[in-house]
Amino acid sequence: MESGKSAIPGGIDSRLFIVRIWTEDLGGGRSEWRAFIRHVPGGESRYVRSWKDLEDFIGRFSERPESNIPTTI
């Protein structure tokens, strides 16, 4: 089986990531969300500031074209 990819019961392929999401205080009553994502099998990781960046990172490990990546998580 390809590295970074595992089969779960029922024959569904899966990818394993760790995602940590938090809110960062910017002062003045403003805040923004931040995230850290790691592709577990390969160890590659990244800090991101947008859902698009998070989706792009996950999409790099997917066999599906990016246009098929869900827009909601």
For all residues of the chain together, what is the average pLDDT?
A: 81
Neighbours of 61 (CB within 10 A): 16
Domain ranges of the chain: 5-68
For the segment 26-46, what is each residue's pLDDT rounded down to a tens digit?
A: 999 999 999 999 999 999 999
**pLDDT over 70 at 72, yes or no:** no
pLDDT digit string, tens, across residues 7-21: 556 566 778 999 999
- Written as six digits, the tokens of 22 are 């938090």
Residues near 61 by beta carbon (within 8 Å), at least 6 away in sequence: 4, 15, 17, 39, 42
Q: How far apart are CA 53 and CA 64, in angstroms?
A: 17
CB 20 within 8 Å of CB 9: no
If phi > 0 it is left, if psi is from -120 to 50 it is alpha, else beta; for residue 45 that is: beta
